[in-house]
Chain A
Amino acid sequence: MKKLKIAIFDLTDCEGCELELINLREKLAKVAEQTDIANWRFASHNHDLGPFDITFIEGSPITEGDIEAVKQARAASRLVVALGSCADLGGLQASLGAKAWTQGLKEVYGEKYQTKSKPPKPLSYYIDVDLHLPGCPVNQNELANFLSSLIMTKRPEEARFPVCLECKAKENSCLFLAGKPCLGPITKGGCQAACPSRGLQCWGCFGALRGGNHHAFKSNLEKKFGQEKTKSLLKNFFSNQEEFKSLYPREE
């Protein structure tokens, strides 16, 4: 069989997800043997222009150049994968919203500064995305299963359970019940409860769980932490998701 031709592109982000890919070490080397990693600025000299079988895009597009590049990548690829929360959800940078983004640029660079950047959006705002691999950063286990599934032409399954499942599996005592604003109950799992297992509340980096009871969760949070804090918590990673938009319909 022909080798899968893979490209990995990165936009505005911390490159942490690519680092997780590299952290697969021997596994990545084995994947590289049986695929053709044709373009990867971060870790390869190859910069083939396609067409590709699978294109991983990390980070969120913020300039016209970025947008053009992702459109070209889309046109040159059979499958496009949003790698990490910046690509999948817009990342933390998207939580600001257009107004605060413009305001922030002025504060940092002064009134006269002509920016080339647009407020960050998830990849799916500009192009069709076939597969999603969220996380800040992505989980190595999920990543490894994702890669082996693709090679076996098996569609990788997205997690359909909240963080709480893996958190209870680890027998953690509940942070939400301990009074912390943990977003675990409405956040998509797959991270193996990375933060709650270390005593840190879940910030929702895998995105809102499709079909979760976000309304109930929001009103529960509001009773404990007030409207403002609740909104800012939910906004961090969910701001571009339908779930968030239905909770805050008047938000820009």
Chain B
Amino acid sequence: MSLVLHHQDLSKLITELSEKWPVYGPKKERNEHEVRLELLTSAKNLSLNNSSSIVPPKKFLFPAKEVLILFEKNKLKKPAQTELILLGLNRKDAEGLFCLDKLMTTPLLDDHYAEKREKVHLIVIDSLAPSNNLNCDLYLQRVDQEHYLVFPFGGFGGKIAKSKLFSHDGDVGTISTRHLPDNVIYHPRLDEIVENSRDHPVWDRLAETCFNCGICSYVCPLCYCYETEDNFEITSNIEKDCKGCRNRAWDSCMLPDFNKVTFHNFRPKMKDRIYNWYYHKFVRMPREYGFPGCNGCGRCITACPAKINYREVLKELIKDEQK
């Protein structure tokens, strides 16, 4: 007997959950390509196909700009985090979050991230079976047009799964083994190939096409570079009150001043910065974490104004290596 949710009850589930927690999920606006993770109250406009949101779910944990610490004279305070549910992520995005969790908590713990992460509960919806690389609370596997198989994980998932909307149904038990075409470029020696490609002409070519805008990093579920800045509030006595906050905001290794330390820029050439982007994702991260800094979501490809496709770049490197 498996735990089942009927598709027509999904909307009711969202409404039920949103009475207790804010529920966010992929919502389509004008068309299938304009999906954003926004507040939901029902399944209206919920986008459950595999088109990904413009900005990945990292925005709830590592937003474009956030306040890390509030200060007032000598007192420090951390901003309060709200508990929320992130519903309707596909498996790929959930796996991306799993990797981001690893990146932000090991070997050093980013406690700002961890505090947010603790309050974010995931409900994944996908036609694929749940994998091992998920930190989710509930997994809804769409087995046919009508049914979802329900897999609760941990205490919070168990609590949600007690809802009367879920039923035990003997008939729906077949776990589909269908796999989507996997978009991750795989080669057993990819790290070596990228590492040894420093003199490959592709980097010169990219340096002539890439705008250096950093969009590929902003939309990447696994890019986590940031910069911090202290801002003071305008009070009646700014100096005496010394009230303000430390902010952190997205940064990108593609940006010209990213590698500026005091007055020295140690990676002033675009070509080197582009190589470094690939090097970090496909050489360093696999060696340090056991997974590449890319989960194949393809956001950087759809968002790149210069239409650069990293898959083509990797394919070219792999092809030329075999020569």
Contact = CB atoms under 8 A, between A and B. Distances in A.
Interface of A: 1, 24, 27, 30-31, 33-34, 144-145, 147-149, 151-152, 154, 157, 160-162, 164-166, 168-169, 171-174, 176-177, 184-186, 209-213, 215-217, 219-220
Contact of B236 (A1, A33, A149, A215): A33
Nearest to A220: B306
Interface of A is mostly: helix
A30 B213 contact: no
Contact of B211 (A149, A165, A173, A216): A216
B7 to A, nearest CB: 28
Contacts, number: 127
A173 B64 contact: no
22 contacts: A24-B234, A34-B236, A148-B232, A151-B239, A152-B239, A157-B229, A160-B255, A161-B251, A161-B255, A162-B212, A164-B213, A165-B218, A168-B55, A169-B63, A174-B215, A185-B211, A186-B211, A211-B257, A213-B210, A213-B211, A216-B207, A216-B212
A246 B221 CA distance: 36
A164 B218 contact: yes
Given A33-B236, A34-B239, A157-B229, 20 more contacts: A148-B238, A151-B239, A162-B212, A166-B64, A168-B215, A168-B219, A169-B55, A169-B250, A171-B55, A173-B33, A174-B303, A185-B213, A186-B211, A209-B256, A213-B210, A216-B207, A216-B210, A216-B306, A220-B209, A220-B305
B233 interface: yes
Contacts of B209: 216, 220
A131 B202 CA distance: 39
Contacts of B306: 185, 216, 220
A219 B63 CA distance: 33
Interface in B30-58: 33-34, 36, 53-55
A25 to B, nearest CB: 11
B235 interface: yes
Residue of B208, B211, B239, B252 with most chain A CB atoms under a 10 A cut-off: B211
B54 A171 contact: yes
Given A27-B234, A173-B33, A165 B239 contact: no
A26 to B, nearest CB: 8
Nearest to B206: A216
Contacts of A209: 256
Contact of A211 (B212, B233, B239, B303): B212
B214 interface: yes
A24 to B, nearest CB: 8
B322 interface: no
B65 interface: yes
Interface string B223-262: 0000001111111111100101000011110011100000
Contacts of A166: 64
Interface residues of B, number: 45
Nearest to B29: A173
A20 B27 CA distance: 36
Contacts of A176: 305
Contacts of B230: 154
B150 interface: no
Contacts of B208: 215-216, 219
Nearest to B30: A173
A24 B234 CA distance: 10
A33 B213 CA distance: 41
Contacts of A186: 211, 213
Nearest to B302: A177
A194 B305 CA distance: 19
Contact of B34 (A145, A173, A217): A173
A164 B214 contact: yes
Contact of B252 (A144, A148, A161, A215): A161
Interface in B169-206: none
B215 A164 contact: yes
B270 interface: yes
Given A157-B229, A220-B209, A173 B236 contact: no
Contacts of B251: 161
Nearest to B265: A211
A174 B238 contact: no
Interface in B272-306: 303, 305-306
Nearest to B274: A213
Nearest to A209: B256
- Ranked nearest first, the 7 interchain pairs of A and B with the lowest CB-CB distance are A211-B256, A169-B64, A185-B213, A148-B232, A185-B211, A168-B218, A176-B305
Contacts of B36: 171
Contacts of A144: 234
Contact of B234 (A148, A173, A177, A213): A148
B54 A217 contact: no
B232 A152 contact: yes
Nearest to B64: A169
Contacts of B207: 213, 216
